[in-house]
Amino acid sequence: MWLGHFPRAWATGRASRQEAPMTTDEPYRPPALNRVAVHSGWSRQARLVRRVPRRFTDVAFRAAGPLEQENWNLERADWHASLPFVRTTQAESVLAEMNELISSNRQPVDEAKPAILLNGFAGYGKSALIKECLYDLHRRHARKREGASARGSRPIDVVHISARAATSERSIAERLRDFLELPRSGRSAGEITARVIDALFECGVKVVAIDELHFVGQSAAVGRRLSNYIKDLINSSPSTFVFAGNNVLDSEIFTSDRGRPDAAGEQFLSLTSIRDIEPFSIAQRDDVWMRTLIAIEESLRLTKLQQGDLFWNCADIMWGMTGGRWRSLTRVVNLACARAIATGTERITPELIASIPVDALAMEHAAKYMPALGDGTWTSLPRDVDL
């Protein structure tokens, strides 16, 4: 549904595109690929400063030579594949809660520190929130250390692992050990864990983040063991623990054979605050969805893009295809930009968005909402917008 001109109140004042000629004075070099499963690679990734691609009009782009065009196309392809994080109202609230917990967890080492769990279904942006929080924390503490003389063990502010396929205490311990880049010694989970906890103290680790917690445990018995193991980690370390997972409260780590939390699960929950992460909703018809699309549109680098192409003309079809899931949204935007560049259309249109295949996560939602697109049954546009 092409809505045409949007209300003046939603004008963003975007900077005009550059008419200056494209040159090869600053050739684009793709960012280095860092192995983020270990701290040395993770910290380099966290400190990576991405170059924001310049804007160009279609006239400037067409006037450039093949090498200049190829250089810019490569730069904006990398940019569209990983657009800047959008701090929505929910994101700001969750990040504030996480930072408050981390800064206030100053209990003595013989007292358990509260933890936080980001809980929700796949694609809602839990991992993106954790990464945003941890990268910001690492950069802030790295700046504080600039110019200071090195003392003792190498400082490590953050440990960040995924629990994917971690089905035993040993596998979790090994991932923590490998991230800390400790020698691969120790035969049992207990021996490895002891070395990990020693390193958490020696390196001054402030946060341990375990993502994809839903992979932990394949049965109630395994889940009970791992629940006890993680609880012991929390109690034994000087760090604040941050967890994330898909619908974790219904997983084996918290539930017994009878489907209710057992003693181990209850103890884990007693240390953990649960923050449910929700997708973008249009039920209240507020402006959060549109403002998110505005922020994304501001980041796009297409030579013919007009203000409102994404946040106004494509607001409904984007929500109908993605269900407001962050992962689905960024996937559609990236593919649409790639197709717009490849075809030379250089704009985002409803027809272009409709040509992008729906991902498996959003198929059920799209099947329900897309047939009614534009018939007045629903809209994602804010209630105060005059159509």
Tens of pLDDT, residue by residue over 15-68, are 555 555 666 556 788 888 889 999 999 999 999 888 899 999 999 999 999 989
Q: Mean per-residue pLDDT for 149-164?
A: 80
CB burial of residue 141 (10 Å; 0-12, 13-18, 19+): middle
Q: Mean per-residue pLDDT for 219-246?
A: 86
Contact 206, 137 (CB under 8 A): yes
Q: Mean per-residue pLDDT for 150-163?
A: 82
Give me 105's structure tokens: 């967890």
Task: Give backbone dihedrals phi and psi of 208, rounded to 5 degrees, phi first.
Answer: -115, 115
User: Quick count: other Cβ atoms within 10 Å of Cβ 122?
Assistant: 16
Q: Mean per-residue pLDDT for 283-298?
A: 94
CA distance 329 to 133: 21
Does 237 share its domain with 292?
Answer: no
Give me 211's structure tokens: 């993502």
Output the pLDDT for position 208.
97
Q: Among 235, 255, 276, which residue terminates a domain?
A: 276
Angle in degrees, 0-180, between the axes of helices 39-47 and 126-145, rounded to the nearest 10: 90
For residue 178, being part of any structural domain is answered with yes
CA distance 73 to 68: 9
Cα angle 333, 3, 353 (rounded to 5 degrees) comes to 25
Most confident of 33-37, 96-100, 186-190: 96-100
Contact 159, 40 (CB under 8 A): no
Does 163 share its domain with 292?
Answer: no
List, for residues 162-180, the tens digit of each pLDDT value.
987 767 889 999 999 999 9
Give me 139's structure tokens: 């950069």
Output the pLDDT for position 116.
96
Q: Mean per-residue pLDDT for 186-207?
A: 94
Name the domain count of the chain. 2
Q: Mean per-residue pLDDT for 82-105?
A: 95
Does 365 share its domain with 348?
Answer: yes
For 97-155, the three-class secondary structure string (H helix, E strand, C coil) is: HHHHHHHHCCCCCCCCCCEEEEEECCCCCHHHHHHHHHHHHHHHHHHHHCCCCCCCCCC
List, for residues 234-289, the tens digit of each pLDDT value.
999 999 999 999 888 776 666 655 556 666 667 777 888 999 999 999 998 889 99
Checking if the pLDDT of 387 tops 80, the result is: no
For residue 380, being part of any structural domain is answered with no
For residue 383, being part of any structural domain is answered with no
Contact 207, 242 (CB under 8 A): yes
- Within 121-236, strands assigned E span 158-162, 207-211
For residue 116, being part of any structural domain is answered with yes
- What percent of the chain shows pLDDT beyond 70? 84
Does 240 share its domain with 325?
Answer: no
Does 253 share its domain with 326?
Answer: no
Q: Among 244, 276, 308, which residue terminates a domain?
A: 276
Does 81 share its domain with 135?
Answer: no
Tell me which H or E stretch contains 246.
strand 240-246
Output the pLDDT for position 14.
58
Output the pLDDT for position 1.
43
Q: 351 CB contacts (<8 Å, ≥6 apart)?
A: none
Domain that includes residue 115, residue range: 89-144+152-276
Does 311 share its domain with 200?
Answer: no
Does 222 share its domain with 110?
Answer: yes
Q: Across the chain, what does the average pLDDT equal? A: 87
Does 267 share its domain with 294?
Answer: no
Residue with tokens 């993680």: 230
Give me 115's structure tokens: 């933890």
Angle in degrees, 0-180, between the axes of helices 220-236 and 263-271, rounded to the nearest 10: 40
Q: Which band of pLDDT confidence, cut at 50, 70 and 90, is reported for residue 146?
A: confident
CA distance 201 to 189: 18
Q: Mean per-residue pLDDT for 201-206?
A: 95
For residue 236, being part of any structural domain is answered with yes
Does 51 share its domain with 75?
Answer: yes
Q: pTM for the full model?
A: 0.87
Q: Among 213, 247, 276, which residue terminates a domain?
A: 276
Domain containing 202 — which CATH number? Answer: 3.40.50.300
CA distance 17 to 95: 33
For residue 103, being part of any structural domain is answered with yes
For residue 386, being part of any structural domain is answered with no
Does 113 share its domain with 226?
Answer: yes
CA distance 135 to 42: 9
CA distance 266 to 325: 30
Q: Which band of pLDDT confidence, cut at 50, 70 and 90, is reported for residue 2?
A: very low
Contact 18, 54 (CB under 8 A): yes
Does 115 share its domain with 72?
Answer: no
CA distance 85 to 92: 11
